[in-house]
Chains A and B, each alone.
Chain A
Amino acid sequence: NAGVTQTPKFQVLKTGQSMTLQCAQDMNHNSMYWYRQDPGMGLRLIYYSASEGTTDKGEVPNGYNVSRLNKREFSLRLESAAPSQTSVYFCASSSRQFEAFFGQGTRLTVV
């Protein structure tokens, strides 16, 4: 019962470094999402993908890129990390009824 798997769980980056957060789901869901969660800000949508081959910007897309590699995988890339991108990142996928299931999160610190 893997559900949604995110890697890595923790990461420390220096300003200007790049990295890719990986996400995979095994529930055959069409829709996948990347959110960030900051203290006092709730979950904010970065990008989402309604189906394989499509991606759309969410509320806070600047500084990020995404790739929907196939139906299972949806990655998030930080090309040049900034301290403002220090956050907890959650990947999610949703059923046709829009019930979302989340990965365990990636705690990213940019110094």
Chain B
Amino acid sequence: RKEVEQDPGPFNVPEGATVAFNCTYSNSASQSFFWYRQDCRKEPKLLMSVYSSGNEDGRFTAQLNRASQYISLLIRDSKLSDSATYLCVVNVNNAGNMLTFGGGTRLMVKP
């Protein structure tokens, strides 16, 4: 079993739709969680950190469920520019500072 798993998609949604992605992690001692965005042939860029209490940044909301070991990303009012691959990232070893990436979920927003 992979340490961090995501549905690869693609998720095809119309503009204005609400879409949600989940990511599961296997190590219960994981401490830090993030969502990154990666555009085609570009480097990943930090979208948002995921806090225990959940957090919101404009149209984006991230949640953490430690009991079930998953994090989620909700995108409201999808824009064409939201089309990208969304990567879930987990810090699985605080002492070693190692970051483990999920395989990514591809989102395509259609006009």
Q: How far is the CA of A42 from the CA of B7 in the complex (A)?
A: 12
A55 to chain B minimum Cβ distance, whole angstroms, is: 11
Which secondary structure dominates where chain B touches chain A? strand
Of the candidates A44, A97, A102, A105, the one whose C-beta lies within 8 Å of that of B45 is A102
From the candidates A43, A44, A97, name the one contacting B32 in the complex (CB within 8 A). A97
Check: B96 CB closer than 8 A to any chain A CB.
Answer: yes
CB-based contact A42/B97 at 8 Å: no
- How many of chain B's residues have a CB under 8 angstroms from any CB in A? 23
Once the chains bind, are B97 and A94 in contact (CB under 8 Å)?
yes
Tell me how far the C-beta of B94 lies from the nearest C-beta in chain A, rounded to whole angstroms: 8
Minimum CB distance partner of A48 in chain B? B98
Q: A42-B87, A43-B87 are in contact. Are A99 and B46 (CB under 8 A)?
A: yes
Q: Provide the B42-80 mask, 1 if CB < 8 A to any CB of A, else 0.
A: 111110010000000000000000000000000000000
Interface membership of chain A positions 60-74, coded 1 if the CB is closer than 8 angstroms to chain B and 0 otherwise: 000000000000000
With an 8 A cutoff between CB atoms, is A19 at the interface?
Answer: no
9 A-B pairs whose Cβ atoms sit less than 8 Å apart in the complex: A30-B97, A42-B101, A43-B101, A48-B98, A50-B95, A58-B98, A94-B97, A100-B89, A105-B43
User: Which residues of B pack against A, CB within 8 Å?
Assistant: 8, 32, 34, 36, 42-46, 49, 87, 89, 91, 95-104
Can you name 8 extra interface pairs (CB under 8 A) apart from A50-B95, A100-B89? Answer: A35-B101, A42-B87, A50-B96, A98-B99, A99-B46, A99-B49, A100-B46, A104-B43
